């Protein structure tokens, strides 16, 4: 396999739309309050993509080194597992990705705060560094939090709360408290994607000692947990819609839950973990669709 294609494979492009969702929703909320800046928007998108790629490289490396990615794993073959990238190459790729992360974080902070409001700039640089740490430590190292059942909590916080509320703050320079509702929605849907991944890999993770939430609660309870995540995400979105309802366009984001609940009905009937892999893409793309409909519903059509 050519080197470029190998790196594209390791970057896992299918995960990127999910990572963009929080930024789009956060931007929509800021725009709803009258704040928008194209440069902040573009840099925020680039930064979150860079974080996601770093996380994917690190996840590939960490699971590969630990032997979690093996012949028992159901999903797509990973770069290190399949041998298309060496351990040294992947490690170098992670280092380059981290450098790009920091450059983008600094650029975003400088543009957002324009050299003023030093306190906020320092906080966001620290949050950027914490995001990079979280991207790496999910599977890398002896204390990898993904192996202790903490992956769901980190995804909820970084993809949901920080992604939405944090990106809104970049525009407004103040906390929009009701942004917490769509932040919870995006966080829960992002956690649902991770949960699907963990349901799919339940047996291989259990054998490898990767104690995800699903491994701890069991496959069937993991499916019940999945239903809770999806239903709670809908209720949280409804809370925001009730507060900000203007006309029919405010209901547009709810359309994204049609494929999400069709997916949930299918999940309830699935007993073979191998059938879960295509469902990851459905939830990730539905979350991205929700983010776009949220923006259109609360800004374009008002």
- Tens digit of pLDDT for each residue in 226-285? 999 999 999 999 999 999 988 899 999 999 999 999 999 999 988 888 888 889 999 999
8 A C-beta contact, residue 146 and residue 209: no
pLDDT digits (tens, 9 = 90+) for 7-34: 887 778 888 999 999 999 999 999 999 9
Cβ-Cβ contacts under 8 Å for 119 (sequence gap 6 or more) = none
- Whole-Å CA distances, 58 to 65, 81, 90, 146: 10, 13, 8, 12
pLDDT at position 75, please? 59
d(CA 24, CA 34): 15
Q: At what angle do helices 38-66 and 16-32 cross, to 10 degrees?
A: 150
Percent of residues in the chain assigned helix, strand, coil, to nearest 5: 80, 0, 20
pLDDT at position 64, please? 74
pLDDT at position 69, please? 60
d(CA 186, CA 229): 10
8 A C-beta contact, residue 163 and residue 48: yes
Mean pLDDT in residue range 117-146: 90
- Whole-Å CA distances, 212 to 102, 201, 225, 289: 29, 10, 13, 28
pLDDT at position 216, please? 94
Reported as a pLDDT band with limits 50, 70 and 90, residue 77 is: low
| pLDDT at residue 1 tops 60 | no
Reported as a pLDDT band with limits 50, 70 and 90, residue 2 is: low
Reported as a pLDDT band with limits 50, 70 and 90, residue 166 is: very high
Average pLDDT, the chain: 90
pTM for the model: 0.93
| pLDDT at residue 220 tops 70 | yes
8 A C-beta contact, residue 178 and residue 37: no
> By three-state DSSP, how is residue 213 classified?
helix
**Backbone dihedral region for residue 37 (phi beyond 0: left; psi -120 to 50: alpha; all else: beta):** beta
| pLDDT at residue 183 tops 70 | yes
| pLDDT at residue 79 tops 70 | no
d(CA 276, CA 281): 10
Reported as a pLDDT band with limits 50, 70 and 90, residue 127 is: very high
Mean pLDDT in residue range 194-212: 89
pLDDT at position 114, please? 85
Least confident of 25-29, 68-72, 88-92: 68-72
pLDDT at position 152, please? 94
Least confident of 70-74, 169-173, 282-286: 70-74
| pLDDT at residue 302 tops 60 | no
Give the percent of the chain with pLDDT over 90.
Answer: 67
pLDDT at position 80, please? 72
């Amino acid at each position: 396999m050519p080197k470029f294609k190998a790196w594209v494979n390791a970057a896992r492009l299918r995960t990127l739309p999910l990572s963009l969702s929080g930024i789009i929703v956060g931007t929509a909320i800021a725009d709803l309050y009258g704040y928008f800046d194209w440069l902040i928007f573009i840099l925020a998108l680039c930064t979150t993509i860079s974080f996601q790629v770093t996380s994917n490289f690190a996840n590939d490396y960490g699971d590969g080194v630990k032997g979690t990615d093996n012949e028992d794993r159901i999903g797509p073959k990973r770069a290190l597992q399949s041998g298309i990238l060496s351990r040294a190459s992947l490690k170098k790729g992670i280092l380059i990705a981290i450098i790009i992360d920091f450059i983008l974080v600094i650029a975003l902070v400088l543009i957002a705060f324009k050299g003023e409001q030093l306190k906020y700039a320092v906080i966001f640089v620290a949050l950027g560094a914490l995001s990079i740490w979280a991207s790496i430590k999910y599977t890398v190292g002896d204390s990898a939090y993904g192996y202790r059942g903490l992956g769901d909590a980190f995804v909820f916080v970084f993809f949901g709360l920080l992604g939405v509320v944090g990106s809104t703050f970049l525009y407004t320079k103040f906390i929009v408290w009701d942004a917490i509702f769509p932040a919870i929605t995006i966080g829960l849907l992002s956690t649902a994607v991770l949960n699907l991944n963990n349901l799919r890999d339940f047996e291989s993770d259990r054998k490898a000692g990767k104690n995800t939430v699903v491994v701890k609660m069991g496959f069937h309870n993991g499916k019940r947990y999945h239903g809770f995540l999806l239903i709670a995400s809908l209720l949280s979105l409804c809370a925001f819609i009730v507060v900000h309802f203007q006309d029919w366009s405010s209901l547009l984001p709810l359309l994204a839950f049609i494929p999400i609940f069709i997916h949930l009905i299918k999940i309830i009937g699935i007993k073979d973990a191998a059938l879960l892999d295509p469902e990851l893409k459905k939830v990730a793309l539905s979350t991205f669709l929700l983010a776009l409909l949220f923006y259109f519903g609360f800004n374009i059509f008002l």
